[in-house]
Structure 1
Amino acid sequence: MSFITHFFPARYYLDKASELAFRDYIVQRTRHTMQRLVLVCVILLLVFNLTDILLGDTWYSLNNLTRAGIVILLLLFLPYSSRLTTDHYLQGWLLVSAVVILLLNVTFYAAAQYFGKLGEGGPMVVAIALTAIPIFNVQQKILLWLLLFVSVAFLKYCTATDTGWSLFYLSITISLCFSWQRQLDILLRSQFKAVRLETQKAETDQLTGLLNRRSFEQRLQQKLQTLAPEQQLSLGLLDIDFFKRYNDHYGHLDGDLVLVNISRLLSQDTALLVVRFGGEEFILVEQHPAGEATVLLSLPEQLCQLAYPHESSPFGVVTASIGIVTLSYPAKHCSSGELMQLADKLLYQAKEQGRNKAVQQDICKQQQDAVHNNL
């Protein structure tokens, strides 16, 4: 079974989650390419119809009507496809492609009746054209190639159509296209892995593995945009107390170890967006039910319970202070800069009040507008 799977990169090259991400990536990246490909096909089909008419064929011949039907199908589905999700987009175009192949088989039949024999070129061109569809992997194209092959075989063995060497040349063409498509599938997934790895490196802090400041802005805006009426958003700016003293007393290597351990504590709650802002500062963002206390308030106590020794601190252990600003719906007009300035002021208040504590400010929509105007 693994031997068969090896022929299909979509089944083994990436893990399941990464394959789904790749599928979405390739669809979003090639939507415009797909539109241009459809328009090229429409133009070619219309040119074929016009050429046949100029050569004396009637516009209502089976050949021309079938091509016109394909054109109508493609033009109807093209604008509709732009509103579909990735899975429905793939399924829709796969179904449309299958219908187009069946209709093209009708044109093969009509052409064979008109010329007395089916030329090898038509089915071969269709097989190669299927390879050019950017959104399908080799498994999906095998289904379409098999449908094409079976359709031509039906003409050969179930009708009086003379197909000549069409099946033979079509078999060779499909074999070559399969080999090329398989290599392309591997290449595209390899490129996706490389791009994803570079993106993760660019967005991740090397020491702690947390998101870095560069990736913070976009992710915060996404959370602000998706905040629901029954939710609130809390943004906290956390700073480790007396961390310079810790480094001076224990050394920077132990200081880095403390940062790593604190990062693990903060990352335990998967609902939190955790960012290393720089040095000993961290940004934390939580979406939580309106009126419910944010978990950010408990972070100083949780850190204190870890009991990392800190002889240069009046607390005797590593502690942290945090300033928290909590927004109510809607929050789309708030910027990260405004929120960070307010959180920084609250953090300063926590330090002024003795450190090792959280200071929170809950602002309603009117206050949010005031903050937006004043900062």
Structure 2
Amino acid sequence: MSTPERTPTPAEITRWRRYLADERAEAAVYRDLAGRREGEEREILLALAEAERRHEQHWLGLLGDQVGKPLRGDIRTRMLGFLARRFGSVFVLALAQRAEARSPYADDADATPQMAADEQVHEEVVRALAARGRQRLSGTFRAAVFGANDGLVSNLALVLGVAASSVPSHVVLLTGVSGLLAGALSMGAGEYVSVRSQRELLEASSPNPATSSALPHLDVDANELTLVYRARGMDQQEAQAHAHEVLSTLGAYTSPVAVQRSEEDEHEAVGNGWSAAISSFCFFASGALIPILPFLFGLTGTTAIVVAAVLVGLVLLGTGAIVGLLSGASPLKRALRQLAIGYGAAAATYLLGLLFGATVG
């Protein structure tokens, strides 16, 4: 005699309906992202959407005639869908990565082990897709974030330090503007030199393509090509075998001295010197402008200092959260870390300004 099916409790039905709504919302996010991609990335995103549809069918099967009126996905997933439809950028993929990491299926007996495993793998798939965008952004984005934060923190520290010494407000403003221009020019020039130097080092380490033309004329018995591979870290036996393989297939072999990673990928990760310099200049200047805004609008004394500190704090929270999103880490932790570092530096210079002002007075 078969055991009758257990009637689900109201709490279970509520939880299953919530899971169903979230799966539908997540599938819609991946379809929206796929609509803004092409080629392999589009196929991967559509495959993720299909996997979420399979999970949807599981909850539909458990609910049976208790499905009820469709619920909306949670606020995070709905916001993710909104961003996916309008932007479809690496920021959305980074958010999707965090969403996959929060899956409750591993601790829910009503979800199958396959579903829990799917969600873990989905996190890695989305992480890999987001990594492509992170690599494309890395050079310019690094310069932009560093430039903005340096501008915010250094000019806030400069302005607070000078203001604490009890000098007139117009002197504080002039100091802040001077700090903005000097810092922005220095950051832009430094970033250009840094990126150009790194690219030149990569180019110097990359093989010379012209070397390939010499291979057909090598003495097979002496085989100087073995030395190339030994210099690259292979042991003698491995280098000899690889060199022999190269020389025996010269017609099909296109780049016998190619590096392990492609030069293009390395250069893309480093970034372009001019774009990095311009980004660094502009973002430093925009960050350094924030602390002097109260003085530009005529505020003075403690009021101007407090307003400057609040404005800078809000922007530091924002930049920290963005870095957290792109890195796949907690936006809140990164935002608070950024705020603590910025305020710590500003507080130190403010105290020094107070001490200097008291000493001079």
| Superposition TM-score, scaled by structure 2 size | 0.23
Name whichever structure is richer in strand by fraction.
Answer: 1
Which structure: larger Rg?
1
Identify the structure with bigger relative contact order (alpha carbons < 8 Å, sequence gap 6+): 2
Name whichever structure is richer in helix by fraction.
Answer: 2
